[in-house]
Chains A and B, each alone.
Chain A
Amino acid sequence: MSDAALPAAAPPARREAARARGESRLVQFALIGVSLAFLLFFLLLPLAAVFVEAAARGWQAYRAAITEPDALAAIRLTLLVAAIAVPFNTVVGIAAAWAVAKFEFRGKNLLISLIDLPFSVSPVISGLVFVLLFGAQGYFGPWLQAHDVKIIFALPGLILATVFVTFPFVARELIPHMQSLGSADEEAALTLGASPWRTFFTITLPNVKWSLFYGVLLCNARAMGEFGAVAVVSGKIRGETNTMPLHVEILYNEYMGPAAFAVASLLAGLALVTLVLKTLLEWHYGDAIAASRRH
């Protein structure tokens, strides 16, 4: 049925339809207002407060707070932990995505659920499990002490706790994307005589590079910002096992608010950079990443 056949009826019907799709202006303004107020109180004010409080004592105090030796040691330790935990989880995440997305096998859904498990475990419990294994009273505690190996209150514990907490991030972004791409490209390359590794590095990896980057980005943000899990295993020895978030806590609890917010502002800056990169990825490569955002 064409519009021309019903010249008189079409305009009112179309107006009806337009009205049906939208709310009145008043309702629109009200809903936008409610949303903005909600975001203001729960999101934007907390973010702004970090930078305002950090700047409260001026540039000199800010500089002093982030360049004192304990702060620098915390920054170095945070970077070191992330530099080990993130590549580890990237490799495992790629392997998990390859197994899950390219093959059909029994127990696949169970495996996916288990990979996601750390998301529903409290960060504190993520640290606790390693204390129970490797702490002084843990299962391996006496053996570790006898051989002079330190895991808890030392770097290995920080890395283990961080790996646990960030375990799902890369796999979770890659699996849906690889599943949506299928295996036809790889099969073609293999049939034409490419070696398995060459197929992987020239076909699979470039195909999923943006969702891989997306996953690594989120994994890194969490690894550098993790607090609960590392708080439990760190022992918070200044200059030795204190990461940046733990340093923020110590300063804050010692009533050194401006210094705490100065270090916190570095982490907030990291969060903003992460957010900007993430948004750019979504705008430019949304199709690849959109698949993963639905999960």
Chain B
Amino acid sequence: MATASLRWREPSILPGFGLALGITVTALSLVVLIPLAGLFVKAASAGPADIWAVATSPRTLAALRLSFLGALFAALVNTVFGLILAWVLVRYEFPGRRLIDAAVDLPFALPTAVAGISLAAIYAPNGWVGAWLAPLAFRLTIPFTDISFGFDGKVAYTPVGVMVALIFIGLPFVVRTVQPVLEELQSDVEEAAALLGASRLRTVFRVVLPPVLPALLTGFVLAFARAVGEYGSVIFIAGNIPMVSEIAPLLIVIRLEQFDYAGAAVMAAMMLLIAFALILAVNLVQARARRRYGDV
């Protein structure tokens, strides 16, 4: 290893390294890296005053908050239900299990615009699901504060609609990362825990779930990253009211349509930087989790 690490690459009798790497790096640079670098150059060239103006405008902040908090909420919902779904698919036998297993990948395959108009149709006030939601309206105020939250019976054309779309789009990620780990878990440790007197609930939380945690976190990050930038499935159901249900990617499109290239670039750069920083942070946490629970 000591000598190998001095070389740029280890010798191999296989041919084609130069050609393969050349094609890869050239295509990657031309299609992905140079255009992305151009975005940051454009954003930087806007000048500090303009960058600050775009970055701190209330509309920008509202859109970023909706995109990031909505994605966070949707990813959390998907983490809980994705874990249950993966558990059910791996552990239980029931009619239609294989069909449902296959259906989980639908959000990967269904074009986002199709999902968008369909979700808008069924969650609209006169839609299949939307029509039943009005009686569920409620509002709670936390005592001694002004903080209140609730649900006014409408999903489509509100921030709740944004979250419905983001849950749809992130649904497969947690299931698909957790499923293979659950499949490989050895049941003898569970049996040992039970024979030593642990309750089933305790066995699940102390023995089964810890090794699944890194995969769960990976699924959460993937769902979150996808949801933050999601556009097609959201814009139809969101209603797109500025400051209320306008997501960050839509605001980028609006700025672009107004020929505010610099504004669009600054906002895009902000989104990418925040997203990369969050993903990096979670990867660091995950590296610690892996060290603790082993590489599963």
Residues on A facing B (Cβ under 8 Å): 13, 16-17, 19-24, 28, 31-32, 34-36, 38-39, 41-47, 49-50, 53, 88, 91-92, 95-96, 98-99, 102-106, 111, 114-115, 117-125, 128-133, 135, 137-139, 160, 163-164, 167, 183, 186-187, 190-191, 196, 200, 218, 221, 224-228, 231-232, 244-246, 248-249, 252, 257, 260-261, 264, 267-268, 270-272, 274-276, 278-279, 290, 293-294
Contact = CB atoms under 8 A, between A and B. Distances in A.
B256 interface: yes
B191 A124 contact: no
B32 A114 contact: yes
A229 to B, nearest CB: 9
B191 A103 contact: no
A187 B271 contact: no
Interface of B: 4, 8-10, 12-17, 19-21, 23-25, 27-28, 31-33, 35-36, 38-39, 42, 81, 84-85, 87-89, 91-92, 94, 100, 102-119, 121-122, 127-129, 164, 167-168, 171, 176, 180, 187, 190-191, 193-195, 200, 203, 225-226, 228-232, 236, 248-250, 252-253, 256, 259, 261, 264-265, 268, 271-272, 275-276, 279
A114 B265 contact: no
Nearest to B43: A132
17 contacts: A13-B195, A39-B85, A92-B23, A103-B14, A104-B12, A121-B272, A123-B229, A124-B249, A125-B271, A132-B261, A138-B261, A183-B12, A190-B13, A225-B114, A226-B111, A245-B111, A275-B103
Nearest to A40: B129
Given A46-B119, A104-B10, A271-B106, A122 B230 contact: yes
Given A20-B194, A125-B271, A221-B109, A118 B32 contact: yes
Contacts of A191: 13
- By Cβ-Cβ distance, the 9 closest A-B pairs, closest first, are A122-B229, A20-B194, A225-B111, A105-B9, A227-B232, A129-B35, A228-B231, A95-B23, A99-B20
B108 A221 contact: yes
B117 A264 contact: yes
Given A132-B39, A135-B261, A232-B256, A43 B107 contact: yes
A96 B20 contact: yes
A194 to B, nearest CB: 11
A164 B9 contact: no
B17 A227 contact: no
A225 B58 CA distance: 33
Given A50-B114, A275-B106, 11 more contacts: A34-B84, A39-B104, A88-B27, A95-B19, A96-B20, A105-B17, A132-B38, A132-B42, A167-B28, A225-B113, A232-B256
Given A47-B106, A92-B24, A196-B15, A167 B121 contact: no
